Structure 1
Amino acid sequence: MFTSIKTSRANKDIVTDLSRKFNLGAENIIARIALTYSLSKDRLLSLTDIADSQGKEYSKNVLFGNNLPYYIGLICVKYGLYKTDKDIPKYIKLHIDD
């Protein structure tokens, strides 16, 4: 399906600052929080609004660990997609950047 997600340049700066400020360890923790927080909002994001990919690159294992199926499930439920949909990585990126 996908091997990594690359965030926007603006996202990289924000995640770095928040990781330092809250001292949560690795930046992937803030990225997970950002993803789930964005998904919790009562709105759908559009693939036409996808930002640049000039930021931090996360491998799917670093970003999600053993929980990848749960995160994919959250995206699928939110957007009515099947787990093999080719756009899932784009939605993940959109919500992390959001």
Structure 2
Amino acid sequence: MFTQIKTNKANKDVVAQLTRKLNLGTENIIARMALSYSLSLDHKLNLNTLSDSGGKEYSRSVLFGDYDDIYIGLVCTHYGIYKTDKDLGKYIKLHIDNGLQLINEELQKVNNIDGFDFLVELISEKIQILH
């Protein structure tokens, strides 16, 4: 079972920039968003694409807070694995790194948007896709 997650080196600056730009709270909030956003796209990421771990480090308790079971459950359900799977931490890292890159790319397309408006836009797009 993993105890900490480290983003890749490139995402160390990305998470700090997104935290400042979106103004939604601490860096672990942005990491949770990144994980959730990446999982919501319903792509299975390949462990062979796991990148370096030279970036921002999060302990499991800081990353997930009181919602540990929920986030772990989302990843386990997505991959059809159990919470004790040896690769669980790697899947979480992959999705955090992926989500940070995707959110950063989305924010590059828009100017002067706050975190709340950004989240509403993403959620609205998902709802439209579902209908």
TM-score (norm 1): 0.96
Give every structure 1 segment of 4 or more consecutive aligned residues whose post-TM-superposition deviation is greater than 2 Å: none
Instruction: Give distance in 1, aligned partners of 2:90 and 2:29.
Output: 19
- 1:17-66: CA deviation from partner (whole Å, max 9, x where unpaired): 01011112210000000000000002100000001000010001110011
Instruction: Give distance in 2, aligned partners of 1:83 and 1:42.
Output: 19
Q: Is the partner of 1:24 in helix, strand or coil?
A: coil
Which of the pair is proportionally richer in helix? 2
Percent identity between matched residues is 65
1:1-98 alignment, distance < 5 Å: 1-98=1-98
Q: CA deviation at 1:13?
A: 1.2
Instruction: Give distance in 2, aligned partners of 1:67 and 1:93.
Output: 17
Unaligned runs of 5+ in 1: none
CA RMSD of aligned residues (A): 0.8
Q: Is the partner of 2:52 in helix, strand or coil?
A: coil
Unaligned runs of 5+ in 2: 99-131
Larger Rg: 2
TM-score (norm 2): 0.73
- 1:50-93: CA deviation from partner (whole Å, max 9, x where unpaired): 01000010001110011111111111110010111010000000
Q: Is the partner of 1:55 in helix, strand or coil?
A: coil
- Which structure exhibits the higher relative contact order, with contacts defined as CA atoms closer than 8 Å and separated by 6 or more residues? 1
The size of the alignment, in residue pairs, is 98
Instruction: Give distance in 2, aligned partners of 1:67 and 1:25.
Output: 16
Q: Is the partner of 1:58 in helix, strand or coil?
A: strand
